[in-house]
A and B are shown apart, each in its own frame.
Chain A
């Protein structure tokens, strides 16, 4: 599976959009981009996934560049409860998720 690169940490103001970047320049054609998050001391939570097209659900939006070498997770209106570690994962297998260090997002009031 392709390797991903994410910033170590980022801050976001409550109520504002949080844009989380992820680089996956070695992604191959059959690999999906998944986003999960892990709130402190809890198990990871699925957020969204995509292959080529942009995706949106009740939690977030996923923007994937045309060359698929990078993507951005958008939390439209961040709340304090969105403070967590966010993982960008690229995988061709549905079940073998490999979590890296992720981005620690801190939402501040």
Chain B
């Protein structure tokens, strides 16, 4: 059973470009969470999605960031017009259902904005 997959593992973007980060949850998991880890800081919750629904986006910056989890395919975290402050590791996690206490994390995507 493959774990949570994220790609790309490393992404370099120039200021003003768009970044698309993909996450495939574990097989059978329908709950996806995105977290951001800024340099030298702990992970911070960004958004929680179920298939075709955003359940909680209280941790998402108000502008330039969006997330989706379509019926088919991976979850996508999209960052428009990236700035240097967006440089961070972005982790995706999945769980079987809301009552599951275990979140399974992917290896992360390290975004560098130059």
Contact = CB atoms under 8 A, between A and B. Distances in A.
Contacts of A87: 42
A96 B101 contact: no
DSSP majority for the A interface?
A: loop
Contacts of A44: 43, 91, 93, 103, 105
Closest 10 CB pairs of A and B: A43-B105, A99-B42, A99-B43, A46-B102, A44-B105, A96-B45, A100-B42, A43-B91, A49-B101, A95-B48
Given A43-B4, A43-B108, A97 B103 contact: yes
Interface string B36-54: 0100011111001000000
Interface residues of B, number: 28
Contacts of A34: 101
A95 B31 contact: yes
A34 B45 CA distance: 15
Contacts of B37: 99
B45 A43 contact: no
A95 B56 contact: yes
Interface residues of A, number: 19
B103 A95 contact: yes
B42 A42 contact: no
The winner among B56, B102, B107 for most chain A CB atoms within 10 A is: B102
B65 interface: no
The winner among A41, A44, A45 for most chain B CB atoms within 10 A is: A44
A32 B44 CA distance: 18
A103 B4 CA distance: 25
